[in-house]
Chains A and B, each alone.
Chain A
């Protein structure tokens, strides 16, 4: 099975600061990491590959600093990785992001595309279904387990109040639920190889068949017109002290009053 896993590099949300004067986000001090749910998607892909054979290719659209993170995917077990990087791709909303990813998937070739359910920074969860629509293939979202059965996939997806078991033909796209598995650590030897010898493929807009009307800022259908920091809710921050019994009594009277 040819599997593509779409990944994104995101800043740790706790470390992103906001300048209310300039209304800009400062990500420069934040640690970057592979989006957590995308690691779950990669792990799901590697497990499928171990069962049914095939290849796993990690793909990301982003600036050149994503490179080490794609190498990390290779160290974890991906066979290959492709970075889609071009100034023309910048400032894309989900419409144009999903378009470029879909065009790259067509070029790579696939039976199955896996994505994380959403990203930690913007968290729209829209890119996976939008990509599936560009490709004209079925998609299943919030998958917690994926099983391959003769040319089809049986997917368990989380829904309100429980789960659904859904069967999908291939090719298909599946978004994998955050926390649905434990991503493996990179193998030490493979990591050294990935860091030193593996050659990342980098494609710009010229390397893909693109209608530039759909790409980057120009191709986007939405704009962020303002950023606002939510003022934290005022809290009293009163420490309750004493013996355990005294604390319990004090809390009990607070609860009775509210």
Chain B
């Protein structure tokens, strides 16, 4: 049996959360199918990552090591993974739908003639065929397309971060298989000149969230104060992230992240389809908007027609009492 592979993405010396989320699901699906679940790690000098991955429920770890994989390059990574796929011929290969993971997956899919299902929010194995089924949100997230690959091709999917649970460490018996791909300088193409990142919060796991919309005009101070008061994370709608008022990592919606919090207080957001798909799984939604006809009120449990700059500071005060 050829098995299910999960690409374990490494960024700045650590495993991406989404890779573990996918690995957990892959192992579940593999058990259901009666096949092996394997992790694929690619890079340079990552034995600590291999060790870390081995703590999770996985049968095999393919460790693809090459000095030219020291730096991220979608073409070099895809070429290396292609060689590994040719050698061991997995049936299914899963990636986190991250900036880099999605790039590598797309190139690998063309190299291998694979079917690639993008940004899935759900995965299952079709009972009758044993094939991979992916649930893909479209049209701003209100419609889900159920997708399947054609028979006899490698079945690939990228999985949206934060929609699956991270597995508990359990195992430690994974067989480790080293693989040295053949790569040369030309395969890299890109040169990384500078990388500037700060630690991010995983907004998909936040229990309480305050979401700022364009009604703030970019002034997030009152909402930050409220968030601090109630121990919430601050998130934004797309245009605020576009403006640079907050990082893309806390943007909610179809091109950002989905919340699963107990509480979300949404101030100055109109409630566009691309945004509200990101608050479907919030338990209690409170919305504040000056426009009595704002669509966001349809998606709220409690709503206030009013000016956020008047309501929010008073709310923060009231909470202090």
Check: B239 CB closer than 8 A to any chain A CB.
yes
> A3: shortest Cβ distance to chain B, in Å?
19
Within 8 A of B (CB), among A226-251: 226-230, 232-233, 235-240, 244-245, 247-249, 251
**Can you list 12 pairs linking A and B with CB atoms under 8 Å apart?**
A18-B142, A25-B143, A126-B118, A133-B111, A161-B197, A161-B199, A224-B147, A230-B141, A230-B280, A232-B298, A239-B304, A255-B263
Q: Which of A59-67, A77-85, A104-112, A162-170 contacts B (4 or more CB under 8 A)?
A: A162-170
Q: Which of B100, B137, B317 contacts A248 (CB 8 A)?
A: B317
Task: Report chain B residues within 8 Å CB of A125.
Answer: 102, 106, 118-119
Indicate if the CB atoms of A162 and B247 lie closer than 8 Å. Answer: yes
Given the complex of chains A and B, what is the CA–CA distance between A239 and B98 in angstroms?
39
Within 8 A of A (CB), among B95-125: 98-100, 102-103, 105-107, 109-111, 113-119
Given the complex of chains A and B, what is the CA–CA distance between A232 and B311 in angstroms?
28
Task: Report chain A residues within 8 Å CB of B137.
Answer: 230
Task: Report chain A residues within 8 Å CB of B199.
Answer: 161
Check: B164 CB closer than 8 A to any chain A CB.
no
Q: Quick one: given A124-B118, A164-B195, are A248 and B148 in contact (CB under 8 Å)?
A: no
Indicate if the CB atoms of A244 and B247 lie closer than 8 Å. Answer: no
Q: Which of B86-94, B171-179, B281-289 contacts A (4 or more CB under 8 A)?
A: B281-289
Given contact pairs A18-B143, A225-B133, A252-B319, enumerate 10 new A-B contacts (beta carbons under 8 Å): A13-B139, A95-B113, A128-B106, A129-B103, A161-B249, A221-B115, A221-B116, A229-B142, A237-B297, A252-B321
Give the total number of A-B pairs whose CB atoms are below 8 A apart.
Answer: 260
Check: A258 CB closer than 8 A to any chain B CB.
yes
Check: B221 CB closer than 8 A to any chain A CB.
no
> A10: shortest Cβ distance to chain B, in Å?
9
Given the complex of chains A and B, what is the CA–CA distance between A229 and B116 in angstroms?
22
Check: A14 CB closer than 8 A to any chain B CB.
yes
Check: B254 CB closer than 8 A to any chain A CB.
yes
Task: Report chain B residues within 8 Å CB of A134.
Answer: 110
Q: Quick one: given A225-B148, A251-B315, A252-B315, are A179 and B75 in contact (CB under 8 Å)?
A: no
Check: A130 CB closer than 8 A to any chain B CB.
yes
Check: A139 CB closer than 8 A to any chain B CB.
yes
Q: Which of A163, A227, A244, A256 contacts B311 (CB 8 A)?
A: A244
> B239: shortest Cβ distance to chain A, in Å?
7
Indicate if the CB atoms of B193 and A166 lie closer than 8 Å. Answer: yes
Within 8 A of B (CB), among A113-168: 118, 120-126, 128-130, 132-134, 137-142, 154, 157-168
Q: Which of B102, B194, B286 contacts A165 (CB 8 A)?
A: B194
Interface residues of B: mostly helix, strand, loop or mixed? mixed
Residue of A nearest to B141 (CB): A230
Report, as a range, how many residues of chain B touch the other chain. Answer: 35 or more
Within 8 A of A (CB), among B298-321: 298-306, 310-311, 314-315, 317-319, 321
Indicate if the CB atoms of B301 and A121 lie closer than 8 Å. Answer: no
Check: A212 CB closer than 8 A to any chain B CB.
no
Given the complex of chains A and B, what is the CA–CA distance between A159 and B100 in angstroms?
8
Q: Quick one: given A167-B190, A230-B144, are A245 and B314 in contact (CB under 8 Å)?
A: yes
Q: Which of A14, A172, A237, A249 contacts B300 (CB 8 A)?
A: A237
Report, as a range, how many residues of chain A touch the other chain. Answer: 35 or more
Q: Which of B11, B150, B190, B299 contacts A233 (CB 8 A)?
A: B299
Indicate if the CB atoms of B190 and A227 lie closer than 8 Å. Answer: no
Check: B218 CB closer than 8 A to any chain A CB.
no
Q: Quick one: given A221-B109, A240-B303, are A162 and B116 in contact (CB under 8 Å)?
A: no
Indicate if the CB atoms of B255 and A232 lie closer than 8 Å. Answer: no
Residue of B nearest to A124 (CB): B118
Residue of B nearest to A27 (CB): B139
Given the complex of chains A and B, what is the CA–CA distance between A52 and B192 in angstroms?
23
Check: A178 CB closer than 8 A to any chain B CB.
yes
Indicate if the CB atoms of A220 and B107 lie closer than 8 Å. Answer: no
Check: B215 CB closer than 8 A to any chain A CB.
no
Check: A223 CB closer than 8 A to any chain B CB.
yes
Q: Which of B110, B189, B285 contacts A235 (CB 8 A)?
A: B285
Indicate if the CB atoms of A233 and B281 lie closer than 8 Å. Answer: yes
Check: A35 CB closer than 8 A to any chain B CB.
no
Q: Quick one: given A159-B99, A227-B145, A233-B280, are A126 and B116 in contact (CB under 8 Å)?
A: yes
Indicate if the CB atoms of A130 and B317 lie closer than 8 Å. Answer: no
Given the complex of chains A and B, what is the CA–CA distance between A162 and B277 in angstroms?
24
Indicate if the CB atoms of A258 and B302 lie closer than 8 Å. Answer: no
Residues 87-99 of A, flagged 1 when their CB comes within 8 A of B and 0 if not, give 0000001110010
Check: B130 CB closer than 8 A to any chain A CB.
no
Indicate if the CB atoms of B148 and A138 lie closer than 8 Å. Answer: no
Task: Report chain B residues within 8 Å CB of A245.
Answer: 314, 318
The residue among A124, A221, A247 with the most chain B CB atoms within 10 A of its own CB is: A221
Residue of B nearest to A238 (CB): B302
Check: B168 CB closer than 8 A to any chain A CB.
no
Q: Quick one: given A235-B300, A240-B304, are A159 and B197 in contact (CB under 8 Å)?
A: yes
